Amino acid sequence: MIYDSITGTIGKTPIVRIQRLAPKDVTMYVKCEFFNPLASVKDRLAIAIIEDAERRGTLKQGQTVVEATSGNTGIALAMVCAAKGYPFVAIMSDSFSVERRKIMRMMGAKVILTPAAERGSGMVKKAQELAKKHGWFLARQFENEANPAYHRNTTGPEILQDFAARRLDYFVTGWGTGGTLTGVGEMIRVARPDVQIVACEPAGASLLAGKPWAPHKIQGWTPDFVPEVLKRDVPHRLVSVTDTEAVESARALSRSEGIFCGISSGATFAAALKVATEAKQGAVILAMLPDTAERYLSTILFEGIAEGGDPEP
């Protein structure tokens, strides 16, 4: 396959059947967003926002792009901006993993850190300030309608096509901006009204369930506010997941399935397993896996994993 630009390789990610971790009589599948060029679902959001702004004329040739990001969005925007010739500045909380900053810098981006104590909303405020001061284009992933629209136009139809004439009972996803949940959820609701949409959240920050927000380790999930693009009436059901369940489940996917995914992927799969234990015999469940384990080398996901060689047997 030959592409004109790396951006042409975004999307059309594979769906893989779970071989060993699914309970008996339930079929589980995962949609592997780490097959995107920069290894996360956020590549979709980045191309969506930049090309929408180009079409509208709100982003001018060579104009600087700025965004508040927990990492994956910054990495995806750094890639799209590098490919299209826009300078990019990421505003990021200093609580997020070091490898994320380095990846962005590798692609020519600037990374400005905000204190973890200021949470997600602190990053957003800083990005707004800088955009205003310098006349930069602010991507606004949490409010930009191009974000869910892209999932309505790509991720949703990909799933519907792959499951055409096949049974599907549940679609399970976490939320960060809510772009995936809203866009894919809306499409599935229209085309397959029998499918239950399940939204999962951190146990200590279940905002959709009406609980207060507390810091959690599931990077990319649930900032300390419910974003504008997230439509609360899309999910039929909410499931909460602890940090420990997320990490254990991501490790299990790596070890038992060879599916090398990040903490939120583990969290989404842990929620899918909870759904699976209560599901009817023969049920089919699809869970989203947003990114790769490689993005979490310096985090709890790899805690306790030895650096030295193993002793010879």
Catalytic residues: 42, 264
Of the pair 167, 232, the CB lying nearest ligand PLP is at 232
Find the residue with minimal CB distance to ligand PLP.
Answer: 220
Q: How near is the Cβ of 51 to ligand PLP at its closest, in Å? A: 17
Of the pair 235, 283, the CB lying nearest ligand PLP is at 235
Q: How near is the Cβ of 212 to ligand PLP at its closest, in Å? A: 20
DSSP annotation of 113 reads: E
Rounded Cα distance, 252 and 256, in Å: 6
- Are the C-beta atoms of 80 and 73 separated by less than 8 Å? no
Of the pair 86, 227, the CB lying nearest ligand PLP is at 227
Measure Cα distances from 224 to 121, 228, 257 in Å.
Answer: 7, 13, 33
Query: For residue 35, what are the contacts with CB-CB under 8 A and spacing of at least 6?
Result: 13, 14
Comparing CA positions, the residue from 164, 161, 199 lying closest to residue 275 is 199
Of the pair 74, 89, the CB lying nearest ligand PLP is at 74
Amino acid at residue number 267: A
Q: How near is the Cβ of 45 to ligand PLP at its closest, in Å? A: 6
Strands (E) in the chain, as ranges, are 15-17, 27-32, 65-68, 88-93, 110-114, 137-138, 170-174, 196-202, 237-241, 284-289
Residues of this chain that bind ligand PLP (CB under 6 A): 40-42, 72, 173-181, 219-221, 262, 264, 268, 290-291
Sign of the alpha-carbon dihedral angle for 113, 117, 119, 123: negative
- Residue holding tokens 């649930």? 222
Q: How near is the Cβ of 77 to ligand PLP at its closest, in Å? A: 13
Of the pair 53, 71, the CB lying nearest ligand PLP is at 71
Q: Which region holds residue 278: left if phi is over 0, alpha if psi is between -120 and 50, else beta?
A: alpha
In 192-288, which ranges are continuous DSSP H helix? 243-252, 263-278
Of the pair 114, 180, the CB lying nearest ligand PLP is at 180
Q: How near is the Cβ of 218 to ligand PLP at its closest, in Å? A: 7
Q: How near is the Cβ of 131 to ligand PLP at its closest, in Å? A: 20
